[in-house]
């Protein structure tokens, strides 16, 4: 998943004049804080250098995973054309960029962000966005959202992980109240991220939400630890990204988990592929989360004819439709 060229250029302008050594140091600190899921009362991105490190090493990854989650929404709701958006914990506005790339109907976005530093960066980047109006609010989510109007699309990407678990339910309830159509939550693809998504899933099903993705059913999640549900999005790494992270390969696989719910149902798939498929030219085995609420490993052979042709193209995260 490539960044839109206008975003890439705007990021390059933000990074001009930053010494690689400083960037690599800040990226390292950021990565350690994220990996430890540190909640020590400080925002992770709390100075200019941390913000530049985020743009270099995290934004491309969160853009890729948010784009994949929004792609799943578009697949199940091909008629969805959001005009208004709320991005809670917007960081540099990654989710707004991903949504604007997916839906050109979008003309009004509101970003809420606690860190003035990353908010300022996001605001500058958004001048290059093809969205008529983008407004930014510096606010902590715990200070409430009661004064805000409903939006067609509400996004909460990589934010629950940074918040005290005691405020997750009230935040999700508030965001659902502000959702005129679809709410999408994205988290890191770790077992802990999956547990947070399961908590949101239970709450939202209880509130009458329709699950759009990734689950093809409303039953209890059939996965049991140490297994967990997650997906992967591949993104190219720029030279600076590689150098700042000390990586050698020109891509990165971002593991993520997400939940998309809506006020109205989407197309119901038969199943979703929840692990990398394996097999050969003659047969493929898929781990499927099925619409009956069960998980099954299913094999398809070349002799199955047309259905094999469709099934062998499926990737981790794709859905199997009734005619597949
Ligand atoms: C990992 S970043 C994700 C940014 C963006 N959504 C993305 O996916 O790239 C999490 C963001 O949430 C913000 N945040 C953390 N705690 C917050 C709070 N209590 N209220 C508002 N924003 C918060 C952080 O400052 C940070 O910008």
Instruction: Provide the residue ranges of all domains of the chain, joining segments of one domain with +.
Output: 5-262, 271-320
The confidence score (pLDDT) of residue 59 equals 96
33 or 293, which is more confident: 293
The confidence score (pLDDT) of residue 1 equals 79
Cα–Cα distance, 234 to 34 (Å, whole number): 19
CA of 16 to the centre of ligand 1 (A): 24
Cα–Cα distance, 67 to 95 (Å, whole number): 8
Please state which of the ranges 44-48, 155-159, 173-177 shows the lowest mean pLDDT. Answer: 44-48
* Band (323; pLDDT cuts 50, 70, 90): low
As a whole number, mean pLDDT of residues 81-109 equals: 98
| Tens-place pLDDT, residues 311-321 | 999 999 999 98
| Tens-place pLDDT, residues 246-274 | 777 888 899 999 999 999 999 989 999 99
Residues of the chain above pLDDT 70, percent: 99
* Band (29; pLDDT cuts 50, 70, 90): confident
Residues of the chain above pLDDT 90, percent: 77
* Band (324; pLDDT cuts 50, 70, 90): very low
| Tens-place pLDDT, residues 207-218 | 999 999 999 999
Atom 27 of ligand 1 has which residue's CA nearest to it?
91
CA of 175 to the centre of ligand 1 (A): 15
Query: What tokens were used for 184?
Result: 């999408």
CA gyration radius for the chain? 20
As a whole number, mean pLDDT of residues 167-195 equals: 98
As a whole number, mean pLDDT of residues 71-77 equals: 98
The confidence score (pLDDT) of residue 151 equals 98
Closest by CA to 61, choosing from 173, 189, 162, is 189
Ligand 1 pocket mutation, candidates 91, 112, 161, criterion most atoms within 8 A of CB: 91
CA of 292 to the centre of ligand 1 (A): 36
Residues lining ligand 1, Cβ inside 6 A: 43, 45, 59, 62, 66, 89-91, 94-95, 113-115, 118, 140-142, 157-159, 162-163
As a whole number, mean pLDDT of residues 95-100 equals: 98
The confidence score (pLDDT) of residue 35 equals 86
| 214: preceding bond cis by omega (within 30 degrees) | yes
Q: Where are the alpha helices (DSSP H) in the chain?
A: 5-15, 20-35, 48-53, 59-76, 94-102, 116-125, 168-177, 191-206, 239-245, 306-311
Whether the per-residue pLDDT at 297 is higher than 80: the answer is yes
Whether the per-residue pLDDT at 200 is higher than 60: the answer is yes
Whether the per-residue pLDDT at 56 is higher than 70: the answer is yes
Closest by CA to 259, choosing from 179, 319, 197, is 197
Atom 4 of ligand 1 has which residue's CA nearest to it?
91
Whether the per-residue pLDDT at 281 is higher than 50: the answer is yes
Tell me which residue has tokens 């997650």. Answer: 230
Whether the per-residue pLDDT at 204 is higher than 90: the answer is yes
Atom 14 of ligand 1 has which residue's CA nearest to it?
89
The number of the ligand 1 atom at minimal distance from the alpha carbon of 45 is 25
Most confident of 47-51, 260-264, 298-302: 260-264
* Band (94; pLDDT cuts 50, 70, 90): very high
CA of 250 to the centre of ligand 1 (A): 27
What's the pTM value of the predicted model, to 2 decimals? 0.96
The CATH number assigned to the domain with range 5-262 reads 3.40.50.150
Q: Where are the alpha helices (DSSP H) in 247-292?
A: none
CA of 91 to the centre of ligand 1 (A): 5
CA of 156 to the centre of ligand 1 (A): 9
> What is the chain's mean pLDDT, rounded?
94
Query: What tokens were used for 20?
Result: 């690689």
């Amino acid at each position: 998943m490539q960044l839109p060229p206008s975003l890439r250029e705007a990021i390059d302008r933000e990074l001009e004049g930053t010494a690689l050594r400083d960037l690599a140091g800040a990226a390292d600190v950021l990565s350690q804080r994220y990996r430890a899921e540190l909640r020590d009362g400080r925002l992770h991105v709390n100075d200019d250098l941390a913000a530049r490190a985020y743009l270099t090493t995290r934004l491309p990854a969160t853009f890729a995973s948010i784009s994949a989650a929004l792609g799943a929404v578009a697949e199940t709701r091909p008629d969805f054309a959001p005009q208004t958006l709320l991005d809670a914990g917007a960081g540099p506005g990654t989710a707004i960029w991903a949504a604007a790339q997916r839906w050109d109907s979008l003309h009004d976005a509101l970003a809420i962000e606690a860190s003035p530093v990353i908010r300022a960066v996001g605001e500058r980047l958004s001048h290059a966005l093809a969205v008529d109006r983008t407004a930014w609010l510096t606010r902590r989510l715990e200070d409430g959202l009661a004064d805000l109007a409903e939006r067609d699309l509400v996004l909460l990407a990589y934010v629950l992980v940074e918040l005290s678990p005691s405020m997750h339910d009230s935040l999700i309830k508030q965001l659902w109240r502000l959702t005129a159509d679809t709410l999408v939550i994205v988290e890191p693809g770790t077992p802990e991220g999956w547990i947070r998504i399961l908590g949101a899933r239970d709450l939202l099903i209880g509130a009458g939400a329709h699950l759009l993705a990734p689950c093809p059913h409303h039953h209890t999640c059939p996965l049991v630890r140490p297994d967990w549900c997650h997906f992967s999005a591949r993104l190219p790494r720029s030279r600076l990204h590689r150098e700042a992270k000390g990586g050698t390969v020109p891509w990165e696989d971002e593991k993520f988990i997400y939940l998309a719910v809506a006020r109205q149902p989407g197309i119901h798939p038969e199943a979703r592929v929840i692990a990398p498929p394996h097999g050969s030219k003659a047969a493929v085995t898929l781990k499927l989360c099925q619409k009956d609420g069960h998980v099954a490993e299913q094999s398809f052979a070349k002799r199955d004819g047309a259905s094999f042709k469709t099934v062998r193209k499926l990737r981790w995260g794709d859905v199997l439709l009734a005619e597949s």
